[in-house]
Structure 1
Amino acid sequence: MSRQPPDDTPYSRIIATCSLLEIPPAWLEQTAPGGIIVAPFGTEYGGEQIIRLTVNDDGTSASGQFTRGSAFMRLRHQRTDRPSFDAYLHGKEWPAHGVRSTTSLSPRATGGWFEQFVIGSGVPGTFWRTERYDNDAYTLWLYSRDTLSWASADYERDRTRYEVYQSGPRNLWDELEAAYRWWADQGRPGYERFGLTVTLEGQHVWLDSPGNPVPQH
């Protein structure tokens, strides 16, 4: 991505066949005004959709809507590290400084492919793992990329409240729940109402229009 573009740029189309966490800003500079960028776009938390972006007249931004779900291998240099759980306990035994609470939101409700995309759009720098037990029970573990925060939520069948532990400067389950409930409050919109705007400085996922970014929790 850091190499100089060839002499025949700008291109009218750029099509990626690998999943991206971030659209490289160089692609804006290498695409002609009005040109199209099509790429699988996923969040660090999970979920992935195909984005179709149109570059603006001066090549400083691109915007467009998602067109369908997808599942591609992540671009190699955008794959993030997934530290072990021990890195989050910082030498202490579980639950370390974890604070217990309960929630009415089932961890199972948050695990769908599109739900992961919505959560990842509103809860950046976070990933998850599961630890499974008998009778479909499991623990959903949430981790911040910086190893400072973690959370766990226990799922068991036929329960209406679920045990949660959270530790660190970020309350990751609270953030996840806020992102999920925001989506539910909007009427659980599908991919066709979401879009992405990319500039030379960054990017944001939005609902219905670029002026309505997905809130960060």
Structure 2
Amino acid sequence: MTAPEALRAALVTALTDSGALTADWARAFAAVPRHEFLPATIWADENGGDTECSRTVDPEQWMRLAYSDVPIVTQWDDGSEGDRSTPTSSASMPTMVAEMLSDLDAHPGHRVLEVGTGTGYNAALLAHRLGDANVSTVEVDPQVTTAARAALERAGYIPEVVCGDGALGWGVRAPYDRLISTVSLRDIPPAWLSQTRPGGVIVSPVSPLLGGGAIVRLTVHGDGTASGRFTRSAAFMMLRQQRYEGAPVDDYLPDEWPGDAEQSWTKLDPEAIGDDWLAQFACALDLPDVYYRRNLFGGGWTWWLFDTAVTSWATVDSAPGESQYEVRQSGPRRLWDELEAAHDRWTAAGRPGYERYGLTVTATGQTAWLDEPTNPLGWSTLAT
């Protein structure tokens, strides 16, 4: 079996050659043993599927996966027993880890708060470069916290590991020079702003309700606000406190479909949005209170659109080979019309990438913008 040191060196070389790993973080990646932070059974996202691998059954494959540039699921369904349905903890893809640390721009002497300890690997990288005393990490799940703390100690790192609500940050050691989240969210918590010093940086995945996701890099200002641009696409597990459960369909449609819905037609296939992560993200910034579900229908899909206020809904049938698609809409809002208009605005703007979008956050809410803060989009949410 190939030694883990050789596999780790090969991963560092690959990340460096790709440009994801910068020289200031290369020593940490070369030193921290990623495999020491993984459980005996893992699920690696190779070839679009979560492949289960046991260290006991196939130690060579397990070790290879530990140093592959793939995300690895380490927990399902918040640790509950039974059928696996939703991944709830993981070791992030090394490329993403390296790129987010580059975005963070942390330097020796900086005090850092990490939200979402997970396996503890990212905290170990931070501790290796910045020192144990400068790193605090918060994890909501007690079992995950215990496992991460033990893995860190085995690897020789003793940052502060706290079991708590990451949305509240960790005020005990504030203010921080840097804050990094390894869980996604819709709304940046106000506590993160107040616990980061002026001039400090917050790096976090953001996942709007409609879909898509990206990393945002915010700079905290002296007035307690923060602003910055998105840097790249990202798909992370949601902060537990911001998971969204939509209302039952019957709350929107108490009678048989189509009820009082008005019929119309569109030439935009909803799958053109569903198959495009960037398009979803751009439309989601315009429509922060709209979400969708998809159901198989014949040889295609039926899209259901809903608003969080439970006032309006719409359906669109996507059928392969068709040039127009049936739309039904009900309620005071015409949700498909709004989504189509958001897609048209994105297209008219030249299909801008993530780096042209940004976010401004205050203690009471946040607003997304295109190119400049003076060009706000529809996404303006009140903090809860």
Q: TM-score, normalised by structure 1?
A: 0.93
Match of 2:76 in 1: none
CA–CA separation in structure 2 for the residues paired with 1:141 and 1:203: 27
Query: Does 1:40 pair with 2:205?
Result: yes
Tell me: CA distance 1:144–1:215, structure 2 relative to 1, closer, same or farther (3 Å).
closer
CA–CA separation in structure 1 for the residues paired with 2:295 and 2:258: 15
C-alpha contact 2:317 2:326 (8 A) present in aligned 1: yes
Structure 1 stretches lacking a partner, 5+ long: none
CA–CA separation in structure 1 for the residues paired with 2:233 and 2:279: 12
Deviations 1:126-170 (A, max 9, x none): 1111111343x1111101122221100111122221110001111
Match of 1:172 in 2: 335
What RMSD in Å do the two structures reach over aligned CA positions?
1.5
Deviations 1:11-34 (A, max 9, x none): 000100100110011111100110
Structure with more strand by fraction: 1
Query: Does 1:189 pair with 2:355?
Result: no
Match of 2:325 in 1: 162
CA–CA separation in structure 1 for the residues paired with 2:185 and 2:288: 14
CA–CA separation in structure 2 for the residues paired with 1:85 and 1:148: 11
The aligned amino acid for 1:148 is: T
Query: Does 1:26 pair with 2:195?
Result: no
Alpha-carbon deviation of 1:4? 7.2
1:122 to 262, 286, 289: 286
The aligned amino acid for 1:123 is: L
CA–CA separation in structure 2 for the residues paired with 1:65 and 1:132: 36
C-alpha contact 1:68 1:191 (8 A) present in aligned 2: yes
Structure having the higher Rg = 2
Match of 1:145 in 2: 308
The aligned amino acid for 1:75 is: L
CA–CA separation in structure 2 for the residues paired with 1:16 and 1:131: 33
2:222 to 57, 69, 85: 57
The aligned amino acid for 1:129 is: R
C-alpha contact 1:65 1:192 (8 A) present in aligned 2: yes
CA–CA separation in structure 1 for the residues paired with 2:225 and 2:363: 7
Tell me the secondary structure at the aligned position of residue 192 of structure 1.
helix
The aligned amino acid for 1:48 is: G
Structure 2 stretches lacking a partner, 5+ long: 1-166, 380-384
C-alpha contact 2:169 2:195 (8 A) present in aligned 1: no
Query: Does 1:131 pair with 2:310?
Result: no
Deviations 1:102-149 (A, max 9, x none): 1111111111212111111111211111111343x1111101122221
% of aligned pairs identical? Answer: 49
CA–CA separation in structure 1 for the residues paired with 2:169 and 2:196: 15
Q: TM-score, normalised by structure 2?
A: 0.53
Tell me: CA distance 1:4–1:11, structure 2 relative to 1, closer, same or farther (3 Å).
closer
Alpha-carbon deviation of 1:2? 4.6
Tell me the secondary structure at the aligned position of residue 346 of structure 2.
helix
Query: Does 1:107 pair with 2:273?
Result: no
Query: Does 1:205 pair with 2:205?
Result: no
Structure with more helix by fraction: 2
Tell me the secondary structure at the aligned position of residue 72 of structure 1.
coil
Tell me the secondary structure at the aligned position of residue 214 of structure 1.
strand
CA–CA separation in structure 2 for the residues paired with 1:3 and 1:195: 22
C-alpha contact 2:169 2:191 (8 A) present in aligned 1: no
C-alpha contact 1:194 1:206 (8 A) present in aligned 2: yes
Alpha-carbon deviation of 1:83? 2.1
Query: Does 1:5 pair with 2:168?
Result: no
CA–CA separation in structure 2 for the residues paired with 1:142 and 1:122: 14
Match of 1:14 in 2: 179
Post-superposition, which runs of at least 4 consecutive aligned residues in structure 1 deviate over 6 A? Answer: none
C-alpha contact 1:64 1:195 (8 A) present in aligned 2: yes
- If asked which structure has higher relative contact order (CA below 8 Å, sep 6+), I would say 1
